[in-house]
Chain A
Amino acid sequence: METLLKVENLEVHFPIKKGLLSRTVGYVYAVDGVSLTLEKGETIGLVGESGCGKTTTGLAVLRLVEPSGGNVIFEGKNLSRMSKKELRSLKKKMQIIFQDPYSSLNPRMTVNQIIGDPMDIHKMYQGSEKNERISYLLDKVGLTPEQGRRYPHEFSGGQRQRIGIARALALNPQFIIADEPVSALDVSIQAQIINLLVDLQNEFDLSYMIIAHDLAVVEHICDRIVVMYLGNVMEMASYKNIYLNPKHPYTKALLSAIPVPDPNVKKSRIILKGDVPSPINPPNGCPFHPRCAYKLEICDKEKPELKDIGGDHYVACFLY
């Protein structure tokens, strides 16, 4: 397998500015040293609770927010050292689908204009090719060419998400980041979009990074899963290992917390005490230690490194 994307020690620290002179008084440690790789044609899932830095990681990979440290290597080229101009030509290979299909489409543009816009910007598929490509894409995502002349407000949430997907596909990318692609949709619509994403991946040989908090959705779509907590990777393994053989205490608690839609399943639930600490003032050592039931003495002093425990299963925990 060929590595498409390699993220090394990615850090995003947002400065907190205060006072008349806007002096920096501290940092929000949104992403604090994330490393991962993505093979061609693979789907990787980023999961975690709100504030764990999963969205910021996705944005920083595309340099939609500037990383404060670390490297993002896409097809052997280091994105984090590129100028904006160089980056632009690479961006047609990397696209993103946003969570909220209501605010991520320009209300003043028709669907045809929305999907055609990236083609104009990158001067691809011009002239009659453009219209052909637009109707081809609309067909692929399950919309009719007639619907292309309408405006976003005329569509339902699920249909809007289809428009967002068509826009992401416009330039024939290799890599798509989907940030919570179904969480804003109704339950009966989610399956449609999940199936569409899987079908498109097979057809166009896409690599996905799926960012989501719903572990059942992530398990269904992703080959490998990265569990994040407070800007750090806690565990990284194949979907099978994460669900059948979770190692990190946080992953175990997270999985046990999810209500199962089957009244016959009686689960022993691990209830975590307390809340997620603030990323402005993260705990010393392992970020999870204040809520961890298996805390060792070393946990609040040193930060565990992400260790390979065999079988492509990585855990950041002193227990292993």
Chain B
Amino acid sequence: MNNDSHLLKVDNLKTYFYTFEGTAKAVDDVSFFIDKGETLGLVGESGCGKSVTAQSVMRLIPEPPGKIVHGTINFDNTNLLDFTMKQMREIRGNRISMIFQEPMTSLNPVFTIGNQISEMFILHKKLNKKESWERAIEALKAVQIPAPEKRVHEYPHQLSGGMRQRAMIAMALSCDPEILIADEPTTALDVTIQAQILDLMMQLKESFNAAIMLITHDLGVIAEIAQRIVVMYAGKVVEEGKTKDIFEDPTHPYTKGLLSSIPKLGERARKGRNKLEEIKGIVPSLYELTPGCSFSPRCPEALPICREHSPKLINTDQSHKVSCWLYSDF
């Protein structure tokens, strides 16, 4: 296989959850890639499988009920799915690290911030306690936490939300990872704090040259920082392309609907109020997916074939892919 050019390449990933209510196909045949130093945005609504995709890459899916049933995750030309848990632990936090949405629940409340960051250096860089403590202070300085020498002794509850997210980022970047997975990193924060964190992430990305996989439902955040976008709906990739192409010329009816359904800041003040375009219906439950394209019950342009067969992800041009019968041959 030729994956030399891509840092991470996910192929035909299927992650299912087996519960009493049935099988939830949370991630169903998802393929995408990330190149070195690139920022990839994974967009979708709740339940579309974007977080499960990220957790699958990190092999953090709780088994049971979940299971990665199919696919390959090639990182640096090795399949992460073949790794033992011990090998995986050497990758996590070291070469691929992750920051989560809610920093309060993902930091350990009974250890100090310094303790938790220095653990990274002790585990992955085999430094001694004193050295790693100093590196922890440096890491906090790098994420612009004021008075890091003091903060390093504090517990997570003593920090504000934005500060905690900074500490999380410090921890995630402490071992110079090649990929940083950020799962809704700013959703729990206020907009002015969100601006600080996004600004910080972009600055750090420049200096560390890490690839970022940003998971979010906020199209504004995606437009500002992602270079390429993968749009997901009900466990499948519906569209993939460069940020500019997706926003200027969306092809999938879901992407189109999503972009025209959000009110844009300043638009009413400049152009007057237009009725927002709605996407009809509700987000489907993963237990009751219809055959064919999952978006077809809500799609304004649905064809008869859409309700029978799922479309495949095909290229419309070199970098733009879409999964829709409107653009495929039957």
Q: Which residues of A contact B201 (CB under 8 A)?
A: none
Query: Which residue in chain B gives the minimum CB-CB distance to A245?
Result: B269
Main secondary structure of the interface of A (DSSP, over half): helix
Contact of A186 with B191 in the complex, beta carbons under 8 Å: no
Interface residues of B in 197-223 (CB under 8 A from A): 198-199, 217-223
Contact of A260 with B223 in the complex, beta carbons under 8 Å: yes
Contact of B247 with A262 in the complex, beta carbons under 8 Å: yes
B269 contact from A189, A243, A269, Cβ within 8 A = A243
> What is the CB-to-nearest-CB distance from B328 to chain A, in angstroms, rounded to a whole number?
23
* B258 at interface by CB-CB < 8 Å: yes
Contact of B257 with A257 in the complex, beta carbons under 8 Å: no
Contact of A195 with B257 in the complex, beta carbons under 8 Å: no
Q: Which residues of B contact A49 (CB under 8 A)?
A: 190-193
Contact of B195 with A271 in the complex, beta carbons under 8 Å: yes
Interface size on B, residues (CB 8 A): 49
Contact of A275 with B163 in the complex, beta carbons under 8 Å: yes
Query: Which residue in chain A gives the minimum CB-CB distance to B257?
Result: A188
* A311 at interface by CB-CB < 8 Å: no
Contact of B278 with A219 in the complex, beta carbons under 8 Å: no
Contact of A261 with B262 in the complex, beta carbons under 8 Å: yes
Digitize B232-262: 1 where CB-to-A-CB distance is under 8 Å, 0 elsewhere: 0000000000011001100000100111011
Contact of A186 with B46 in the complex, beta carbons under 8 Å: yes
> What is the CB-to-nearest-CB distance from B263 to chain A, in angstroms, rounded to a whole number?
4
Contact A272 to B262, CB < 8 A, known contacts A187-B45, A263-B223: no
> What is the CB-to-nearest-CB distance from B174 to chain A, in angstroms, rounded to a whole number?
23
* A190 at interface by CB-CB < 8 Å: yes
Q: Which residues of B contact A258 (CB under 8 A)?
A: 191, 220, 265
Contact of A191 with B219 in the complex, beta carbons under 8 Å: no
* A104 at interface by CB-CB < 8 Å: no
Contact A216 to B195, CB < 8 A, known contacts A158-B282, A259-B221, A263-B247: no
* B196 at interface by CB-CB < 8 Å: yes
Contact of A187 with B265 in the complex, beta carbons under 8 Å: no
B191 contact from A190, A220, A257, Cβ within 8 A = A257
Q: Which residues of A contact B261 (CB under 8 A)?
A: 187-188, 190-191
B265 contact from A191, A219, A272, Cβ within 8 A = A219
A215 to B192, CA, bound (A): 12
Q: Which residues of A contact B262 (CB under 8 A)?
A: 187, 190-191, 216, 261
Among A190, A213, A262, chain B packs the most CB atoms within 10 A around the CB of A262
* A192 at interface by CB-CB < 8 Å: yes
Contact of B273 with A220 in the complex, beta carbons under 8 Å: yes
Digitize A210-222: 1 where CB-to-B-CB distance is under 8 Å, 0 elsewhere: 0001011101100
Contact of A219 with B247 in the complex, beta carbons under 8 Å: no
A187 to B46, CA, bound (A): 9
Query: Which residue in chain B gives the minimum CB-CB distance to A188?
Result: B279
Main secondary structure of the interface of B (DSSP, over half): helix
Contact of B160 with A275 in the complex, beta carbons under 8 Å: yes
A255 to B266, CA, bound (A): 9
Q: Which residues of B contact A263 (CB under 8 A)?
A: 223-224, 243-244, 247-248
Contact A156 to B282, CB < 8 A, known contacts A187-B217, A187-B261: yes
Contact of B258 with A188 in the complex, beta carbons under 8 Å: yes
A183 to B46, CA, bound (A): 13
Q: Which residues of A contact B217 (CB under 8 A)?
A: 186-187
* B162 at interface by CB-CB < 8 Å: yes
B223 contact from A50, A192, A239, A259, Cβ within 8 A = A259
Q: Which residues of B contact A81 (CB under 8 A)?
A: none
> What is the CB-to-nearest-CB distance from B326 to chain A, in angstroms, rounded to a whole number?
19
Among B218, B266, B282, chain A packs the most CB atoms within 10 A around the CB of B266
Digitize A238-271: 1 where CB-to-B-CB distance is under 8 Å, 0 elsewhere: 0110111000000001111111111110000101
Digitize A270-294: 1 where CB-to-B-CB distance is under 8 Å, 0 elsewhere: 0110011000000000000000000
Digitize A35-58: 1 where CB-to-B-CB distance is under 8 Å, 0 elsewhere: 000000000000001100000000
A188 to B266, CA, bound (A): 20
Interface residues of A in 18-73 (CB under 8 A from B): 49-50
> What is the CB-to-nearest-CB distance from A153 to chain B, in angstroms, rounded to a whole number?
13
B218 contact from A195, A259, A276, Cβ within 8 A = A259
* A159 at interface by CB-CB < 8 Å: yes
Report 11 cross-chain contacts, Cβ distance below 8 Å, ordered by A residue.
Answer: A49-B191, A49-B193, A156-B282, A190-B261, A194-B263, A240-B269, A261-B259, A269-B195, A271-B195, A271-B196, A272-B192
Which residues of A pack against B, CB within 8 Å? Answer: 49-50, 156, 158-159, 186-192, 194-195, 198, 213, 215-217, 219-220, 239-240, 242-244, 253-264, 269, 271-272, 275-276
Which residues of B pack against A, CB within 8 Å? Answer: 45-46, 160, 162-163, 190-196, 198-199, 217-224, 243-244, 247-248, 254, 257-259, 261-270, 273, 275-280, 282-283
Apart from A219-B265, A220-B263, A272-B196, 14 more pairs, CB < 8 Å: A156-B283, A187-B262, A188-B45, A191-B263, A216-B265, A219-B263, A219-B267, A220-B276, A242-B269, A243-B265, A257-B192, A264-B244, A264-B247, A271-B196
